[in-house]
Structure 1
Amino acid sequence: MFKQLRLPLLIIAILLVSLWIRLDYIAKLEVTPISDMQDYDQRALRLVEEGTFVTGERHGATYRAPGYVMFLASLYELFGHKYRLVYGVQALLSVATLYAIYLIGRRLFEAKVALLALLLAALYLPFIGYSGVLLTESLFLFLFLYALYSFLCGAEEGRVGWYLLAGGLFGLAALTRSIALLLPALCLIWLFWQRKTWRLPRATWLHLGLMVLVMIVVIAPWTIRNYAEQHEWVLIDTTSGLNLLIGNNDRANGFFTEAIYGVPAYKEAMRGNRTDAEADRIMKRGAKAWIVAHPKEFAELTWMRFKMYLSAQNDWLASTYKWNWIKIFSDNFYARYQWTLMSLGLIGAFFALWKERNALFPTLVAGYFLGAISFFFVQTRYQLPAMPFVILLAAFVLGELGRSRRRALCIFAAVFLIGWWLEELAIQYKVL
């Protein structure tokens, strides 16, 4: 009896300690929202007080996806304008996300690997720190991880209910961060690979179609609302043009810099009383024109940004939001842990292509996020959605250590060499 309870009790203990660490951190946190955090806060307050997403400012209702604004507005409406209460709810979502990592690990690998992934994720500092920040990360991670878990359950069990739940959660995740829009396509690719055929059963195609249909139904009201306001189709938001232009122009260096304000396409987009959709389209056109005219520079910038994301751990929010108050914090631990996870994750991706079919799923998802953000510019928090899947790959590789002494020595050597390479990259690109 005790042996049967040992694993559940260990999981509960890890989750409770993780929750305590988060609550202990946010109990001392007193930071007035700035930058993007302030914008989300103001949009949520406007929604509560005036019942509108319209800002009356340059960046209007469609500039940001509505999911996190609605999340904040709901909490403000129910409990008042209290930042610490938001952080408390986000702490609960963050701990629930840790459990989602474990659940996905159980679906893909054996229980030992899933437990290792839970332990690794519990020690990952940004998962803790972002529970105390007014940004989309905690909500987005919760939604899209449970969406992927629901899909995996549906794919394994063949039950349509799981697919319907996945579709709803995918829709909510996309309304929080539009980068989630292509995740169902990754699910399809994984099914092809996992089943070694392009010919899926008719029932599977039907279930996938229903999943996408539910996702569309969830997103559609916001899209229709955008059309009524902008008089053109805006699926979710109008930030991609600016983000793409920041990363791809004559002055781009991989980061956000104020040099963007002097780029001709940006000046044109900001001229006059253009709608968000018009400004977004102009900036997209300018970025695409630069990419077509400078394919070599674009490829070099993208490869540089990808390497920066692999090695980056310098997050400006760490000092602003007092991450040094978190019990497990130290600069050296944070950096070394990040590089070790990335090293193990890269080795796991190699295993996925070589021998372990199920490891392809976290490889695809982590690769999608890291690859997609490499087209834009480096902001450390944008790598966060990839990390649960990097951690799953890392746990899988650690589980391989006991297979043979030779394999263990090869893995230790690879981790050392890749970690050294990542540290050198971090120093070279100033993301340390």
Structure 2
Amino acid sequence: MSAQILDFPTRPSRLALRLEWFATDRSVLLAIWALYLALRVAVLLIDVAPSSDAISYFARAADLANGLGYRDKGLATAFWPPGLPLALSVMFHQFGVSHVSLGLFNLAASMLTGLLTLALGRHIFGNEAAARGGLLLLAIYPNAIGYVPLALTEVFYTTLLLAGCWALMTRTNRWQLVGAGLIFGFATLVKAQTLVIVPLIFAIDWLRVRPVWKRLPGLLTEGLIVVAVSALVVLPWTLRNHAQLGHWVVVSTNGGYTLLTGNHDTATGDFTPDAPVVKRFMARTDLDEVSSDIEAARMGLTWIRDNPGKFLALAPKKMMRLWLPDGEAEWAYQAGAPSYPRFEALYRAVRYVNQGYYALLMLGFAAAFVVMTLRRRHERLRWTGWWLLPYAAALYPTLICLLFSGQSRFHYPVMPFVCITTGWLAATAVERLAWRKRKPTLH
């Protein structure tokens, strides 16, 4: 009797075995973590002094650590959100005001970001290969690495954003909403627009499971709990501002200035403090800090009201400035690293490599949306699910930039979500290819 070729059982292809090894072998995960840590420790060896916004954040943290309060030139201020300086001041108080303490603080935050990236990847896609792939993509992402020595909000804020999303996704009782509210409240002290993402998260949760209308009241209540707890976290700072500045300032007094820089006759969609109208405004000395912020906001809103066509025409430019360029960490090294003039070609080469890598990540992010939509339709699954969370995270800074201004660093906190999703797409593609290459077994 001649042998028959059966489709099942089949011998796994070599590619399938490699994918299984990647997803299950402990040494693979340890190697990814080792790479993740090593690259971030290596960049801390570069001497880079704070520049631009980082100067203010570093100085405010140092003042707080030394018991001098939140001041600028000897006067109480709320120009910069206090979240990063407050957290960094604890590190400075314990270990001294230094760039070493700053680097260790960001390194710890970055490692937590990696842990949350892995956890979110597992929870969103239920696929260990995808989760590990997302962590690996983030591990070697040059711009994420480059921010670790810098006194900017991005590294710390990304950790808070991921933690808040994780807390809401995995909650099993309402007490955990308090923890989420605490996280999002402190994140609001780092970036004032943070709470915009909370309704987006609850909207996904609402639509992902039937019966949607029956679940709506409970989810609205939960969302209000998160927002209320967040407001309580911010409240002491708001009260401090009223006591110190004589006005009600919820978080900071640079919102009006940011609004103006993104909305005026010579605006290009980018943060443009060198524009004539902005320079003239900043040169005024007849306004105090709060009045200046209010006046700048008034000017920006008046311009939008009087120029709706120009405002709408700026929207595509703002989005392009937000999402097309990447690798802006190089600017900090150009301004503050003594090694930059000697190794400018190397820094610039890394910037170009990063831009190409970023483009691949974003192409994967866009393709994953299409693939997941088609897959869920083919399998007759509900379209809405937690897989949309990365896209909600991307929508959140996009909505903000349309009103204010587009800066590439604003998409930094979204990139772990992009890596997770692109990791899923890569794992799915390899799995599909491995299935096609399976070898039949003779019986």
- What's the TM-score once normalised by structure 2's chain length? 0.81
* AA matched with 1:194: R
- 1:249 pairs with 241, 264, 267, which one? 264
Report Cα offsets for 1:159-199 as digits up to 9, x if no partner: 23432211111111111111212221112211222125243
Please report how far the alpha carbon of residue 297 of structure 1 lies from its aligned counterpart in structure 2 after TM superposition.
1.7
* AA matched with 2:284: R
Q: Please name the residue that 1:240 is paired with.
A: 255
Instruction: Supply the distance in 1 between the matched residues of 2:23 and 2:304 (Cα, whole angstroms).
Output: 57
Q: Please name the residue that 1:83 is paired with.
A: 99
CA contact (8 A) 1:244 1:284 kept: yes
CA contact (8 A) 1:270 1:279 kept: no
Is residue 317 of structure 2 the alignment partner of residue 304 of structure 1? yes
Q: CA RMSD in A?
A: 3.0
Instruction: Supply the distance in 1 between the matched residues of 2:74 and 2:309 (Cα, whole angstroms).
Output: 38
Q: Please name the residue that 2:12 is paired with.
A: none
Report Cα offsets for 1:324-365 as digits up to 9, x if no partner: 8999x8344312110011111122334566645332111111
Report Cα offsets for 1:228-274 as digits up to 9, x if no partner: 223332111122211111111011122333443534xx745763453
Instruction: Supply the distance in 2 between the matched residues of 1:6 and 1:223 (Cα, whole angstroms).
Output: 49
Give SS of 2:275's match. Answer: helix
List gaps (5 residues or longer) in structure 1. Answer: 409-432
Structure 1 residues 76 and 114: CA distance shift in structure 2, 3 A: same
Q: Please name the residue that 1:418 is paired with.
A: none
Q: Percent identity?
A: 23
- 1:125 pairs with 137, 142, 145, which one? 142
Q: Please name the residue that 2:126 is paired with.
A: 110
CA contact (8 A) 1:363 1:393 kept: no
Q: Please name the residue that 2:223 is paired with.
A: 208
Structure 1 residues 26 and 178: CA distance shift in structure 2, 3 A: same
- 2:244 pairs with 216, 219, 229, which one? 229
Is residue 209 of structure 2 the alignment partner of residue 195 of structure 1? yes
Please report how far the alpha carbon of residue 66 of structure 1 lies from its aligned counterpart in structure 2 after TM superposition.
0.8
Instruction: Supply the distance in 2 between the matched residues of 1:398 and 1:91 (Cα, whole angstroms).
Output: 28
Instruction: Supply the distance in 2 between the matched residues of 1:239 and 1:330 (Cα, whole angstroms).
Output: 32
Q: Please name the residue that 2:109 is paired with.
A: 93
- 2:194 pairs with 157, 166, 180, which one? 180
Instruction: Supply the distance in 2 between the matched residues of 1:193 and 1:203 (Cα, whole angstroms).
Output: 13
Q: Please name the residue that 2:233 is paired with.
A: 218
Runs of 4+ aligned residues of structure 1 deviating over 4 Å after TM superposition are 2-9, 201-206, 266-270, 320-327, 351-354, 402-405
Instruction: Supply the distance in 2 between the matched residues of 1:70 and 1:391 (Cα, whole angstroms).
Output: 29
CA contact (8 A) 2:268 2:318 kept: no
Q: Please name the residue that 2:6 is paired with.
A: none
CA contact (8 A) 2:253 2:293 kept: yes
Instruction: Supply the distance in 1 between the matched residues of 2:96 and 2:167 (Cα, whole angstroms).
Output: 33
Instruction: Supply the distance in 2 between the matched residues of 1:132 and 1:295 (Cα, whole angstroms).
Output: 41
Q: Please name the residue that 1:22 is paired with.
A: 40
Instruction: Give the number of equivalent residue pairs.
Output: 397
Is residue 342 of structure 2 the alignment partner of residue 342 of structure 1? no
CA contact (8 A) 1:45 1:73 kept: yes
Structure 1 residues 318 and 394: CA distance shift in structure 2, 3 A: farther
Structure 1 residues 52 and 185: CA distance shift in structure 2, 3 A: same
Instruction: Supply the distance in 2 between the matched residues of 1:225 and 1:210 (Cα, whole angstroms).
Output: 24
Q: Please name the residue that 2:182 is paired with.
A: 168
Q: Please name the residue that 2:300 is paired with.
A: 287
Give SS of 1:132's match. Answer: coil
Q: Please name the residue that 1:421 is paired with.
A: none
Report Cα offsets for 1:29-54 as digits up to 9, x if no partner: 22222221111122122223343113
Instruction: Supply the distance in 2 between the matched residues of 1:65 and 1:352 (Cα, whole angstroms).
Output: 38
* AA matched with 1:25: V
CA contact (8 A) 1:348 1:359 kept: no
Please report how far the alpha carbon of residue 375 of structure 1 lies from its aligned counterpart in structure 2 after TM superposition.
3.4
CA contact (8 A) 2:92 2:101 kept: no
- 2:422 pairs with 369, 394, 398, which one? 394
CA contact (8 A) 2:324 2:408 kept: no
Instruction: Supply the distance in 2 between the matched residues of 1:296 and 1:353 (Cα, whole angstroms).
Output: 34
Please report how far the alpha carbon of residue 131 of structure 1 lies from its aligned counterpart in structure 2 after TM superposition.
0.8
* AA matched with 1:396: W
Structure 1 residues 362 and 257: CA distance shift in structure 2, 3 A: closer
Instruction: Supply the distance in 2 between the matched residues of 1:253 and 1:374 (Cα, whole angstroms).
Output: 12
CA contact (8 A) 2:255 2:297 kept: yes
Give SS of 1:401's match. Answer: helix
Please report how far the alpha carbon of residue 18 of structure 1 lies from its aligned counterpart in structure 2 after TM superposition.
1.2
Q: Please name the residue that 1:368 is paired with.
A: 396
Q: Please name the residue that 1:142 is paired with.
A: 159
* AA matched with 2:201: C
Instruction: Supply the distance in 2 between the matched residues of 1:206 and 1:82 (Cα, whole angstroms).
Output: 44
Instruction: Supply the distance in 1 between the matched residues of 2:272 and 2:53 (Cα, whole angstroms).
Output: 16
Q: Taking CA–CA contacts closer than 8 Å with sequence separation of 6 or more, which of the two structures ends up with the larger relative contact order?
A: 2
Report Cα offsets for 1:115-171 as digits up to 9, x if no partner: 2211111121121111110111111111111111011001xxx22343221111111
* AA matched with 1:229: Q
Structure 1 residues 269 and 133: CA distance shift in structure 2, 3 A: closer
Instruction: Supply the distance in 1 between the matched residues of 2:244 and 2:283 (Cα, whole angstroms).
Output: 19
Instruction: Supply the distance in 2 between the matched residues of 1:269 and 1:278 (Cα, whole angstroms).
Output: 12
Report Cα offsets for 1:289-332 as digits up to 9, x if no partner: 111222222122111121232220252235445798999x8344
Look at both structures and tell me which one has the larger radius of gyration over its CA atoms: 2
Structure 1 residues 251 and 3: CA distance shift in structure 2, 3 A: closer
CA contact (8 A) 1:246 1:256 kept: yes
Please report how far the alpha carbon of residue 64 of structure 1 lies from its aligned counterpart in structure 2 after TM superposition.
0.9
CA contact (8 A) 2:178 2:229 kept: yes
Is residue 30 of structure 2 the alignment partner of residue 12 of structure 1? yes
Structure 1 residues 19 and 403: CA distance shift in structure 2, 3 A: closer
Instruction: Supply the distance in 2 between the matched residues of 1:132 and 1:76 (Cα, whole angstroms).
Output: 15
Instruction: Supply the distance in 2 between the matched residues of 1:181 and 1:404 (Cα, whole angstroms).
Output: 39
- Structure with the higher helix share, 1 or 2: 1
Instruction: Supply the distance in 2 between the matched residues of 1:391 and 1:137 (Cα, whole angstroms).
Output: 16
CA contact (8 A) 2:181 2:226 kept: yes
Structure 1 residues 318 and 176: CA distance shift in structure 2, 3 A: same
Instruction: Supply the distance in 2 between the matched residues of 1:169 and 1:220 (Cα, whole angstroms).
Output: 14
